Structure 1
């Protein structure tokens, strides 16, 4: 009997399909100025389903392009965070002793610093940041909580029977980590990645809205929202459609994380409302606690 596909998987598949197929679905180039006079700030129509902006650019095409940019930024920065967090937790666990204690205390200090304040300070000091710089900035400020979870999980796994047996057989260091610990840690990383992508999509939209993230004329959901910030009543479509896209993406990633957590850790399943609220917080705390 085949197992039913979870709705979260359908949502993610739909999101990824639309984002990947964006260049094929876009009727116009995202930055193309179609007619600066006749097509300026046009309401949604059959020719332009999401309307046009003040520069006569097709908003539907820009929302599709913005989805590619926002999702790519989220996936790359979360991947960087997971790599750094896993390396940090692995070193702390394998070395142990004073090094482990010191590294844990350093994590506590790092977690006490509000992430959003760090991002705002860096954005204010450096001004416009390139896409790779944003990936590094978001990725290198978002791994602390995941590192603590990874460290706790690896410590718990290091006392399990299969790890003790491997050590008795002479397995040590990187081989113990690679062959015996990381395979059991993988579900935790995947769950945290799903929640992390949701949080980063919302974070990027906020930073771009403030002018500290993706810079115009590059399309992202945050920059489109910024274009409509002062004209919400007269040009409501500039805020509605990228806002709905952001909410849908965050909900889809959180729903996937909840489904994965229910599958691999049924005793640690929060409500979807709690997941969404945590993902929209300045510093993501959506992590799996062992």
Structure 2
């Protein structure tokens, strides 16, 4: 019986369209455009704060203290007479710096630790993972307070280091799982045969394969670091008042609530919550996109 090639070509084309085009359309529909736009607006405003601010954020005008939002002070002033509008953009730069720096530290530690655990023997891998689980079982806020007490006076750098070295565990576990799956691949074995050391294999061969799997964790850690800094400052163990950040601004919340000065707590809180929500939405989108790509392979 003679077969017609046209029949096979039509079926094949339809199959390719269903496998490749439809998932891409579904991914595009889920892009959090609003979160990206809002986050970009906040980040750009903080980076170019000198162009946005209309007052010196560090200047204390006691005569103008505790003023409600008005034409001169768009977001009002705090109990020390500082302009909240200018403090938002200036302090946001510090909060974002802490978030980015601590995320870099935690990502580096997590990738290194997880990769070493993944390529090690069963015995060493088991010890390293048990150590990770012990640290995860301890509330992170207690570890942060303990380490910060050892370092002494709080600065933006010290806070970043403390948050970074206490938030790498989840990244390490994901990296370890990915490495265990691909460590016996042919190109890994070929690299070992040619004399490549462990560091070269991790950064040249393993990292490109699992970086997409941990991107959502990196983004999530960024938001968590900003929230942690704000929590520490709210509890009075974070940045001092002279170092302006969203967290140090929220440290005045108790006094503001007692005196009914809602703008001192509400406006910085809105910027902080909006930033965290946007980062969370972007992280969820990255996670969903990564899962869809893996399910199509």
Instruction: Tell me by how many angstroms 1:240 deviates.
Output: 0.6
2:74 equivalent to 1:49: yes
1:259 paired residue number:
285
2:52 equivalent to 1:25: yes
**Does the C-alpha gap of structure 1 residues 237 and 206 become closer, same or farther in structure 2, counting only changes over 3 Å?**
same
Equivalent residue for 2:119, pick from 86, 91, 94: 94
RMSD, aligned α-carbons: 2.5
The separation in 1 between residues aligned to 2:291 and 2:138, in whole angstroms, is 29
Equivalent residue for 1:12, pick from 21, 34, 39: 39
CA contact (8 A) 1:228 1:235 kept: no
Equivalent residue for 2:159, pick from 134, 143, 157: 134
CA contact (8 A) 1:66 1:219 kept: yes
Q: Provide, for residues 166-205 of structure 1, a one-character-per-residue CA deviation record: whole Å limited to 9, x for no partner.
A: 5577655333222221011211232211100111111111
2:272 equivalent to 1:246: yes
Instruction: Tell me whether 97-106 or 47-56 shows the greater mean CA deviation.
Output: 97-106
1:285 paired residue number:
none
**Does the C-alpha gap of structure 1 residues 164 and 234 become closer, same or farther in structure 2, counting only changes over 3 Å?**
same
Where structure 2 has 5 or more consecutive residues not aligned to the other structure, the ranges are: 1-24
Normalising by structure 1, report the TM-score.
0.83
CA contact (8 A) 1:210 1:226 kept: yes
Where structure 1 has 5 or more consecutive residues not aligned to the other structure, the ranges are: 269-290
Bigger CA radius of gyration: 2
1:287 paired residue number:
none
CA contact (8 A) 2:241 2:248 kept: yes
Q: Provide, for residues 37-79 of structure 1, a one-character-per-residue CA deviation record: whole Å limited to 9, x for no partner.
A: 2x12110012111101111110111111111111110110111
Instruction: Tell me whether 2-11 or 190-199 shows the greater mean CA deviation.
Output: 2-11
Structure 1 residue matching 2:62: 3-state secondary structure: coil
CA contact (8 A) 1:128 1:213 kept: no
Instruction: Tell me whether 258-267 or 97-106 shows the greater mean CA deviation.
Output: 258-267
1:198 paired residue number:
223
Q: Provide, for residues 138-164 of structure 1, a one-character-per-residue CA deviation record: whole Å limited to 9, x for no partner.
A: 111111222111111211222456545
